[in-house]
Amino acid sequence: QSVLTQPPSASGTPGQRVTIFCSGSSSNIGINTVNWYQQLPGTAPKLLIYSNNHRPSGVPDRFSGSKSGTSASLAISGLQSEDEADYYCATWDDSLNGYVFGNGTKVTVL
């Protein structure tokens, strides 16, 4: 049972916009910045969004992040087949004194 809650799955057709939500609490998302990771099948996770809404170099601007209160979201606009992957939110938890991941959301392109 993760302290960060994500829906297990999300889907969309090519070109659509998909949004994944991540719910936390006052000890994690409420006071720390959120990162998002993308894990393509059979590969290592890749940092997709850091500090709530910043994209590392090379990440397409189709990916965007936001945070409000104790929740965060990742939006994928103009969905493409290569976006099929597992997506994880993550942040530091001050109560646990450790880094925590969401349970992950599998995105399927229909």
Partner 1 sequence: QVKLVESGGGVVQPGRSLRLSCAASGFTFSSSGMHWVRQAPGKGLEWVSFISYDGSNKYYADSVKGRFSISRDNSKNTLYLQMNSLRPGDTAVYSCAKGNTSPGYWGQGTLVTVSS
Task: Enumerate residues 45-104 that contact partner 1 by CB under 8 A.
Answer: 45-47, 50, 56, 86, 88, 90-92, 96-104
Give the x-and-dash track for 22-41 against partner 1 (CB under 8 A): -------------x-x-x--
Task: Read off the tokens for 91.
Answer: 């942040």
CB of 50 to partner 1, least distance (A): 7
CB of 104 to partner 1, least distance (A): 4
Q: Which of 97, 106, 84, 91 has the alpha carbon at shortest distance from 23? A: 91
Task: Read off the tokens for 63.
Answer: 């990916």
Q: Compute the distance between CA of residue 4 and CA of residue 23 in angstroms, rounded to an integer.
A: 6
Pairing of strands 9-12, 105-109: parallel
The contact set with partner 1 (CB under 8 A) reads 2, 35, 37, 39, 44-47, 50, 56, 86, 88, 90-92, 96-104
